[in-house]
Amino acid sequence: MHSKKGFTLIELVMVIVILGILSAIAIPKFVDLTGEAKIAATKSGLGAIRSVAAIEYAKSATSGTAAFPPAITTDLFADERIPFNKFNDSTSVGAVTAVPSGTATSANGWWYISASGKAGAYSDGTEDTSAW
């Protein structure tokens, strides 16, 4: 008597069902993690921009004329690169006179008010960045 080797239809269906259940659980978790990573990376870039503004203010204060830099430019950074805003993949810093809304979008990645040294991140329209 010859024994046939292979899987039965029931075994194959069960494997497919188990894989479907695992993917239904894993995919939403993965999507959530990418969103959190985007927020963390953007907050990190914003921290670098705020640090540069504070350092330049401190430098000018020690020379007797305390003022924030008139603009955030690449030459203020050690690696001469402005960080990416992961919401819109832009590195440019736009000058504004008032704080934009937390979900404001722009071609610029960041906004900066030179009079006060405030800086923030533009959003993709879905995330409120005002509390950062």
Does residue 130 lie in a domain region?
no
49 or 29: which leads in pLDDT: 49
Range of the domain at 46: 9-121
Residue 1 has a pLDDT of 63
CA–CA gap between residue 2 and residue 51 (Å, rounded): 76
Alpha carbon distance, N-terminus to C-terminus of the chain: 74
Does residue 3 lie in a domain region?
no
Domain count for the chain: 1
Report whether pLDDT(124) > 80: yes
Task: Give the pLDDT mean for 28-48.
Answer: 90
Does residue 127 lie in a domain region?
no
| Tens-place pLDDT, residues 83-114 | 999 999 999 999 999 999 999 999 999 999 99
